[in-house]
Amino acid sequence: MHEQISKSQRRGLRRRADDVDDSGLEAVPESAAPAPRMPASKPVVEFRGVHMSYPGGTTALDGATFAVERGEFVFLVGQTGSGKSTIMRLLTKEIDATSGTVRVAGRDLGGIDRKKVPYSRRNVGVVFQDFKLLPNRTVYDNVAYALLVTGHSRKEIRRRVPDILRLTGLATKLHSYPDQLSGGEQQRVSIARAFVNHPPLLLADEPTGNLDPETSIGIMQLLYRINRTGSTVLVATHDHAMVDRMRRRVIELENGRIVRDEATGLYTRDENTREFAARMRGDLSPGEEL
């Protein structure tokens, strides 16, 4: 169960959040509380000796072992077929591991009955490369739908959705339909929908894969801002240039095995989102693309 967030915690969150910046993102509102606190001894994500074989004998993961602590921002990198997508699918319990243990928020996913999977998925927000928005619903309704299907009241939906749209820079787009939005705006809607429940874990699968360099920076800036509210963020990507500029922990996969797990060149903990975006843009050489 989610813990209640005290007034002092909310004030602290607001002090850590930034003011409106040049991307149009606003400070995190009080209702955008940090992800539920977990005991320090329990990672948000834990893989222990995980093997995954698909029908036909293809090995997708071969003894994967790693842990991601609360509040981390981690990249999964590797070529197509290296195992990144399999890890994402295991974390949402779309598939089950052949052997080994997968835990999310301290809970062994292997022990969850299929009927309880929708409830378990409330701990995980997912952002897709192709957005997966409902084309015949407005921005507001796309985000509200994520709350509706998890049993929130209409009063709660009316309170939460405007807050999350302000957080993601979409306050002026709430009545727009997906086909009226740019690719970057559609991805922001996808992120808003994934984060509106304030899950302890946010997964992003190639979130900038179809976007131009400047828009990609804006999306990573938004994910960084969400991470600063307390949510753990795990991003799967093949974009090594973006990963290098982010300077966060990197887990690299090759043929289903983890071949690198390191935290290199971390940015400072007190870097706000404006400073982050300025650094990202400053790292770009003229004519260079992400």
Q: Is the pLDDT of residue 215 over 60?
A: yes
Q: Is the pLDDT of residue 252 over 60?
A: yes
Q: Does residue 183 contact residue 199 with C-beta atoms inside 8 Å? A: no
- pLDDT (0 to 100) of residue 33: 42
Tens digits of per-residue pLDDT, 8-26? 444 443 343 343 344 455 4
Report how far apart, in Å, the C-alpha atoms of 143 and of each of 156, 170, 263 are: 13, 11, 33
Report how far apart, in Å, the C-alpha atoms of 144 and of each of 129, 182, 239 are: 20, 20, 31
Helix (H) or strand (E) holding 26: none
Tens digits of per-residue pLDDT, 91-130? 999 999 999 999 998 899 998 888 888 777 788 999 988 8
β pairing state of 232-237 and 201-205: parallel
* C-alpha–C-alpha distance, residues 87 and 64, integer Å: 9
- pLDDT (0 to 100) of residue 267: 64
Report how far apart, in Å, the C-alpha atoms of 188 and of each of 4, 129, 215, 219, 267 are: 27, 11, 10, 7, 24
**Residue type for 287, please?**
G
Question: Nearest-CA neighbor of 83 among 246, 260, 264?
Answer: 260
Q: Does residue 69 contact residue 240 with C-beta atoms inside 8 Å? A: no
Tens digits of per-residue pLDDT, 23-77? 455 444 434 444 444 445 589 999 999 999 999 889 999 999 999 999 999 999 9
Report how far apart, in Å, the C-alpha atoms of 200 and of each of 22, 43, 79, 167, 260 are: 27, 11, 27, 17, 25
* C-alpha–C-alpha distance, residues 142 and 161, integer Å: 10
- pLDDT (0 to 100) of residue 41: 59
* Complete domains list, the chain, with CATH: 7-282 (3.40.50.300)
The pair of structure tokens assigned to 133 is: 């928005």
Q: Does residue 201 contact residue 91 with C-beta atoms inside 8 Å? A: yes
* C-alpha–C-alpha distance, residues 195 and 178, integer Å: 18
- pLDDT (0 to 100) of residue 159: 93
